[in-house]
Amino acid sequence: MSNNIGFMQGRLVKSEKKDYIQSFPWKGWKKELKIANKNNLKIIEWTIDYYKFEKNPLINKKKINYLKKQLKNNNVKIVSVTSDFYMQMPITKLKSNFLKRKCKQNIIKLIESCGHLKIKNIVIPLVDNSSLKNIKDEKKTIDFFLQFKDLLKKYNVRILFEIDYSPRKIIKLLKSFNDSFGINYDTGNSASLGFKINEEKKYFKRVHNIHIKDRLFKGTTVKLGEGNCDFKTLFNTLKDIKYKKYLILQTAKTFKNRETEEILENIKFIKSFI
């Protein structure tokens, strides 16, 4: 697992939006790749927002070759994309047909781009603004994403849901989807919701990406080790199931110009359990 530790895009540079810990770093994305290279950080999870979706270098056809060059020059690999644009404009809250079509088109473009760049995982957040509040939301979401199953297979890409469901509800939800779909497990969100790893591990065979962070029970994100995440049990469980996929640091930022130092400290913390 130690060779599969990466970081969430934007964690190595200053946040460009006030009070936003996570958004695409328009001014600093190239700088961040250079910082990653300098510190031997080879794995990144890309971020993409609804704001300027079409101009993101991951999507924009005129910029995608330039992105490939930047990744190659800095020896950094994108292994997953976190789709914050969906949380900002989820299908469950869209009223107009125009916006519904736009949402579908964005998913299609993202799948195609990930296929071309050989990025395996697309993380779809079903939390906060895109959380499923009732059976109607769940059915609408299932129907919406099932229409992409053939496209996912064509491009060898997988959609991973990050969801605030209980372990039992996650297991039930996954029965609606084939292996082109899975789960992105978030350690901090799980701790905040009070879920127990011994119950969650029942669906871990469908977990293909893990966001590493720590949160207080029913509270906010904090420094690793200062919240309610049971990292010892987590990593013992991952060892038992021989988890060899990615661990992406989506950790807290102090906003004190210590972005790189914090990531390196967090990697050291994680490796102490591996």
The reported pLDDT for the residue numbered 15 is 78
The residues spanned by each domain of the chain are 2-271
Q: CA separation (Å) from 41 to 236, 267, 269? A: 24, 10, 15
The reported pLDDT for the residue numbered 19 is 52
The reported pLDDT for the residue numbered 257 is 79
Looking up tokens 């760049």 gives: 117
The two three-digit tokens of residue 84, written as one number: 């914050």
* Closest-CA residue to 250 (of 118, 125, 105): 125
Query: Region 217-225: what's the mean pLDDT?
Result: 93
Architecture of the CATH domain 2-271? Alpha-Beta Barrel (3.20)
Half-sphere exposure of 158 (CA within 13 A, CB side): 19
The reported pLDDT for the residue numbered 18 is 58
Within 8 A by CB and 6+ apart from 21, the residues are: 10, 15, 221, 252, 253
| DSSP codes, 79-96 | EEEE-HHHHHS-GGG--S
